[in-house]
Amino acid sequence: MTRTDWLDLLVVDLPSQSRFYQDLFGFEVLEQSATRVELGSHGKKRLGLQAGAQRVVDPRQSGLYHAAWLLPTRADLGAWLLETQRKGVRLSGASDHGVSEAIYLSDPEGNGIEVYWDKPRSEWPHVSGKLAMVTEALNIRSLAQASKGHRWEGFPVGAELGHLHFQSHELDRAAEFYEDLGFELSQVYPGARFYSLDGYHHDVAVNQWQARYPRDFSAAGLLSYGLQLESRGENRILDVLGTTCVLESLLCQK
């Protein structure tokens, strides 16, 4: 079960952003007003869009690096890839991370997006007993062939928000925030740290690759997000990025 549950984005153009995510993933509108849209699948909220930003994402600010959407199977990812090609969606990258295969892009206002599937845990690379994720070229042809005629028909049952990757101008403080919540360090990259619960490759990650400034909420970007954790009493706290983190009790265990 995912530990990152949903996210809200502050946007400049609400109708355009709503159409983009509906078209990209097949999300349905759960609630809508003049200033806010709640998008989801199978009756569950996945993404909230809130109007009010004055300009698009500033990549130098702390906030969201990318939201990573996890698909159940390789065939699902292959079918989604073929659908994006059919629609002319502009992709920015594709990688084999050893633990997963991932495709990258950005929404029209500059929010990063990852779409991926997880390889079986028995195949995850380890060095000296520790997880060793890699970044290698993804075999796009093989992935497309894996769809095996499986068509993309919207966000499938079992798909979810797999993890959130943040960027922060204060990497140590951001990392400490998640450590205090009980996340365990799973891997260190130059300028980045990856954290997990229950042995997942990472539920959250934080990097300092681009961020130079605190989050300015006049710009589009991350507004809030939900984490499913054991109950800690107070369920809304402001994290080091300046966004509201909503802590939710677990409904079940892995």
List phi, psi (to 5°) of 230.
Answer: -60, 145
- Identify whether the C-beta of residue 227 lies closer than 8 Å to the C-beta of residue 6: no
Exposed e or buried b per residue across 164-192, where buried means at least 16 C-beta atoms within 10 angstroms of its C-beta: bbbbbbbbeebbebbeebebeebbeeeeb
Mean pLDDT of 157-168: 96
Give the rounded percent of residues in the chain with a pLDDT score beyond 70: 95
Summary mean pLDDT of the chain: 93
Burial class (CB in 10 A: 0-12, 13-18, 19+), 251: exposed
Return the residue matching tokens 């260190």: 188
C-alpha dist (Å) from residue 46 to 7, 34, 162, 197? 7, 19, 11, 20
Cα 160 to Cα 254: distance, rounded to the nearest angstrom: 15
Q: How far apart are the first and last CA of the chain?
A: 6
User: pLDDT class for 186, splitting at 50, 70, 90?
Assistant: very high
Domain map of the chain by residue range?
Answer: 4-248
User: DSSP letter at 191?
Assistant: T
pTM of the model: 0.94
User: pLDDT class for 232, splitting at 50, 70, 90?
Assistant: low
Residue-wise pLDDT for 17-48, tens only, equals: 999 999 999 999 999 999 999 999 999 999 99
Mean pLDDT of 216-222: 96
Residue-wise pLDDT for 112-126, tens only, equals: 999 999 999 999 999
Q: Could you tell me the fold of the domain covering 4-248?
A: 2,3-Dihydroxybiphenyl 1,2-Dioxygenase; domain 1 (3.10.180)
Pair of tokens at residue 134: 């890699």
pLDDT at 250 over 60: no
| pLDDT: which is higher, 251 or 142 | 142
- Identify whether the C-beta of residue 54 lies closer than 8 Å to the C-beta of residue 139: no
Residue 104: strand pairing partners: 93, 114
